[in-house]
Structure 1
């Protein structure tokens, strides 16, 4: 299993994540972002896990950056506050 850190993520995903954080008054440093290949389903890509405090959410990473939009939805719902 390959473990990814925030800096291992694609540059486009990192830029989108940083913009979403800024829009909601956060910085990327407020979150612990890691990634792992899904050992049970390698054909559908990796999982990105975002943690803050006692809360964590995992998103399926795809080529379109959908996980960042899902993360922003969670911010809108105050999941990480």
Structure 2
């Protein structure tokens, strides 16, 4: 299972998402796009979205803090 969370420093929903994953002991990689403009551009190119958080789970994208969609993607 591969989970990558794209975040920024001041995003409250990013914190909520990371806490959600940690509480459920779901391992994830975090990419802070605020400190890496190249990664931000890659993210926009992949999803067409500028907002965060965005989560990639085994190649499937979940935009925003959406616990139900995250859990569904993890079960696939």
Question: As a proportion of its length, which structure holds more strand?
Answer: 1
TM-score, normalised via structure 1 length: 0.44
Greater Cα radius of gyration, structure 1 or 2: 1
TM score, norm. by length of structure 2:
0.45
